[in-house]
A and B are shown apart, each in its own frame.
Chain A
């Protein structure tokens, strides 16, 4: 397609949809360049990995059959008989893990660079919801192969939700579909994984991206203080966009490497009547919570340790979600120091508990 026909198509579209303002916006959108610019790309990588998830997920859907007698068998069929099925399945698993990792990196970079502050409260809030949904994706997807580890990890995981005071039992039954993890749970998780969470995720992600595009990239305080002529920028399109693509290709290469050299195994088929095998553990991104609950004493004062733990994570999670709304109230002089210390403590806590979880 040459330039002339490009213009004709754009004109044709513009007449009907008035896209000129959007094109102007894209042309003039600038991204600041400074020592922390690298963190701008983390959200883009997470977006790319989400796209990989959607694509590979749709391909897996063509063959996956949920059910106690068919889930494991269909996964086995996918990885052994379907052309490149092994690759798609392995990519889906690896990409899922990297997606959560990059969402965490993106979140903490946003936190430490102070990008969550006014006027980006709702961007932070929608980002937190996306993190929660991504964890929901992980938790629901983990059970779908219906293998031994997934079955017992889901059992333990849903049991923990049962410790939430008042509503815990109802949540547990809602998640499981009955008192225990059964074929009904599998179908339910399948519905969460391929319909409910994707629908909500897509909506929240659209809102999140819209907010970012409307408000532009966050400029750190030190950057804002620079004289106007020293505030370097690059055009979002094509400069920043091409760099994004470059990074995405590198991530794709890493993904392929992981999928080929460390293919995800399918484990042993779940047997609900068998005793739990050794080494039952949740996925790595739940490990810090799981390990904390394990280390808590049976009783703290007069309350069960597990309930205290679940409440602690609940309150902590809500506080983290509402961060932009209360952080602004901290004395401006000590705000940065307080928040940085808090953030470092949270990161250290997550890292230490995760490491203990894998070592112990």
Chain B
């Protein structure tokens, strides 16, 4: 019987049966491979000697990369001796110093890695060898972090996975494991309170309390694979990665030049590092909390400039605050506050820009911006006052309306009385 002679429904039945039988195999073929033809896993599982951190969601495991792909040997061989023989390329567990190269076998090869992710970086090992961790490992210090210290060995998850030790939310905890352990870190003679400070900082609270992933974790300033403390010159660049304008204004200012000359630590000098707090206008000026007064003295140029900048800023901010109160009142009485909101948004923008321009220490530039903000805020205040006034005008309008209605009521009352009288008469 030739195929052509088959009835259509029979062809259909054959096709469906074939799909049912072959379908699952095609779909999960890759995953099946990791389980069925992996004799390493089969024996280690039977003898209960799987690595302590073995996790089936591990990125390598679910990608079908077998034990032998890292550790060598023959995962298809059922004979234990043969499977783990040097002849079959078995390398076993790498020593601490071998780990970077061990991972680098694949992770440093773009031709291999791009199969998994075309845009993946392959310079991690190179960066690591330049880092403080890598250099120390090269010198024989086996206490420092290697790849597995942060990523684990058999429980590696992509950094985008919130369960991963390298996910942004978990990075501070990962670094903390060693860096907050004063006994472990004793011989390195570096502080161990970074995490404690960071947790209370504006960055730490945003990341760890509010889950704001835009806030920097340790690696955003120090680098990850190439982790190193930022040097004197690079501090403002580190902060400038996010706070671009502040860095640019500061670098171009006279103050920036003076900092370089006097070997001062750029941003950190005023704002601190791990424990950086939310800024306030009072950090500027000549008041008790003013940082400017840490270096400047009464009467010097810096003192005069700081005072002028602070006054400019306070003038617009206090008007802005009172405008906000008026806007709330407008909202509360059920009047239109949309235009006021737009004006205040523009004013807020000018205030934010003026606060950034503070880093130029230029009273003219800051003055222009605060004047801009003041003008917009003033317009908002006038509009709010007019709107509140309109609200009361409504009441006068009601007074007029009620007057006419009352006249009508009185007239009607007399009319009714007149009718009553006529009836009685």
Contact = CB atoms under 8 A, between A and B. Distances in A.
Interface of A: 79-81, 86-87, 234, 238-239, 242-243, 245-246, 249-250, 252-253, 256-257, 260-261, 263-266
A66 B415 CA distance: 46
Contacts of B338: 80
A23 B423 CA distance: 20
25 contacts: A80-B334, A86-B334, A87-B394, A234-B423, A238-B419, A239-B416, A239-B419, A239-B423, A242-B412, A242-B415, A243-B416, A246-B412, A249-B405, A249-B408, A253-B402, A253-B405, A253-B409, A256-B398, A256-B401, A256-B402, A257-B398, A260-B395, A260-B398, A261-B395, A266-B334
Interface string B322-366: 000000000011111110000000000000000000000000000
A263 B392 CA distance: 12
Nearest to A81: B336
A327 B394 CA distance: 51
Contacts of A253: 402, 405-406, 409
Main secondary structure on B side of the interface with A: helix
A80 to B, nearest CB: 3
Contacts of B406: 253
Shortest beta-carbon contacts, A-B, top 6: A80-B336, A260-B398, A246-B412, A249-B409, A263-B334, A253-B405
A249 B412 contact: yes
B412 A265 contact: no
A239 B416 CA distance: 7
Contacts of A86: 334-335, 394
Interface of B: 332-338, 394-395, 398, 401-402, 405-406, 408-409, 412-413, 415-416, 419-420, 423
A234 B334 CA distance: 46
Contacts of A243: 416
Contact of B416 (A246, A252, A260, A263): A246
Contacts of B402: 253, 256-257
A261 B338 CA distance: 22
A204 B335 CA distance: 38
A242 B419 contact: yes
A242 B334 contact: no
Contacts of B409: 246, 249-250, 253
Given A80-B337, A250-B409, 12 more contacts: A80-B338, A86-B394, A87-B394, A234-B423, A239-B420, A242-B416, A246-B416, A249-B405, A249-B408, A256-B405, A260-B398, A263-B334
Nearest to B413: A246
Nearest to A264: B334
A49 to B, nearest CB: 16
Contacts of A87: 394
Contacts of A264: 334
A237 to B, nearest CB: 11
Nearest to A268: B331
A238 B415 CA distance: 11
B362 to A, nearest CB: 41
